[in-house]
Structure formats: structure tokens, C-alpha cells
Structure 1
């Protein structure tokens, strides 16, 4: 008996069943994978232009992000399906992927700004897109504006604490030159 044929048939059956189950959200998953691929390529090109070259760490990070994003999509849809809320699961997944698309689009445009010659027409166009997406489009995604405001306040609080710590050290005579990592 040829076990490889049976194993191959079982794998084909499992993959076909999963493909049929996830068919309603296949477009979302393919779109997020394309977006992550473009993000990886723009980061790689930006690194090549600035002489940093290929980094396996970044490649594995992109692979990990792909697994996480597809895993989130699979989990959300599976849970929604077993709760008999397929439509709500698809809507939830579309909001999650829309927010992810915003974060990655801002990063892609930021990389493009670093790639393009400053002052060129394409640079100005990409700068306009970066401004529009990073500051104006944020209001279109539910709860993202509140998150950005809360994160901004948290970041400003951390900067203020660090500044106060540096001032305290300067007053004690330890100064910036004695700080680790500076």
C-alpha cells in the first residue's frame, strides 16, 4: 500500500475543506497578504538604497506578521461562524483589516518618501498621500482617532518623565554624559 498517496489525498481534502470554509473571507486574507508584501518590498528597497542591505530579521518579521494577520482573520471568522454570526464576523474582520491597512499604508508611504528624491513631483505626491492618510483618513476608521489621541498622551507623558529624570540627574551632577546608551 502506498501511504504517500493516501497522505497526499488527505492533505488535499483538508486544504479543500479549509478553503471552502474560509471562502467568504479569502479576499480579505489575500488583500492583507498583498499589503504585507508591498510593505516588505518598500522597506527592503529603502534599506537597499540607504546601504543597509538584506536583513533576515525583517524577512522573518514579515512572515510572522503574515501568520498573525491570517490567524486573526481565521479566528474571527471561525468564532463568528460557530456563533451563527457569519455576516457580523465578516464585518468585524473588515474593520480589523481596514485598521491594519491604515497602519501598513502609512508605513509604506513613509518608506516611499525615504526612497524618492526630495522635491520631485512624485515625492510631493507621496507626501500629500502620507499626510492625507496619516492625519485625515484616521477619522474614517472607528475608534482609531481615540486610540491615536490616547497613545499620543501616553507618549507625551513618558517623554515628560524622561525629561524630568534627566533634569534631576543634571541637578545631582551626574549629567547626560553618564547616562547609559546616550
Structure 2
């Protein structure tokens, strides 16, 4: 039993050290988690209610894996920025990534809500603003979306 206690204490210590090291980005990591949960719930409910789909382990795992990739990207940028003594630049880059995640997942969340509430004018308006009008205000976003459409057609 003593070895199990030693291993548990070592894991708790390593976990605490890791959390303390990444404390400056804890809010951004939480935002990614929060967006993931809302997107997952909206997609799940829209699929079940609007499309009469069953729960898909594959879709859920894919969503979980995609979120994990975002965590790895954010934490990698933080580590690299800290090691290069440019923590402010790393935090600015991470902030941009988190805003991009919020934008694309936000559009997806609203798209799923439109499936649930097709006659909701506020949801339709928010979806319109976020998916069409915001595109005009962010440099290169329209070019990116046009390029994605071309790639999908191929």
C-alpha cells in the first residue's frame, strides 16, 4: 500500500506543478473548454431533436480530439514563448487563437441553434451577423472562407 500512496503523491505533485506553470493561460484554457461544451451540447441536441439522429461516439470523440489539439497548440505556444523570453507575444498569439476558436465554434453553435429554433429571429439575426457581417470586418477572413469553399468543391 505504501507504493500506491507514493505514486499518488507524486502524481498530485506533478499535476500541481503543471497547473501552476500554466496559470497565466488558465482563463483561455477554460474558454476553450466552455466553447467545447456548448458546441457539443448544441450539436448533440440539434442532431437528436432536429435530425432525429442517435448519439454518435465517433462524432463525440472527434470533437474531443479537436479540442485536445487546441489545448496542445495553446500550451505549446505558451511554452515556446516562455522559453524564448517573449511571454507577452505568446499570450497575444494565444488570445488570437482563442478568439478564432470562439468565432468558428460560435458560428457552429448558432447554426445548430437555428436547426432547433428555425423561426427564432434573434438567433437568425445573430447567425447572420456572425457568419456574414463579421467576415467583412476581419482582414483575410473572407479570403479564407472563399478558399475553403473552393477546397470543398475539389
TM-score by length of 1: 0.78
Deviation, 1:16, is: 0.9
8 Å Cα contact 1:43/1:108 also seen in 2: yes
CA radius of gyration, larger in: 1
Q: What is the aligned partner in structure 1 of residue 53 from structure 2?
A: 52
Q: Which runs of 5+ in 1 are unaligned?
A: 160-182
Displacement of 1:62 in angstroms is 1.7
Answer whether contact 1:99 1:141 (CA < 8 A) is retained. no
* Unaligned 5+ runs, structure 2: none
Number of the residue aligned with 1:62? 63
Equivalents in 2 of 1:84, 1:32: separation in Å?
A: 25
Aligned match for 1:124, one of 121, 125, 137: 121
Normalising by structure 2, report the TM-score.
Answer: 0.91
2:141 aligns with 144
Over aligned residues, Cα RMSD in angstroms? 1.8
Q: Which residue of 1 is the match for residue 78 of structure 2?
A: 77
CA shift at 1:15, angstroms?
A: 0.8
State the 1:5 CA deviation: 1.2
Distance 1:77 1:147, change over 3 A: same
Residues 84 and 142 of structure 1, relative CA distance in 2, 3 Å threshold:
farther
Using CA pairs under 8 Å that are at least 6 residues apart, name the structure with larger relative contact order, 1 or 2.
Answer: 2
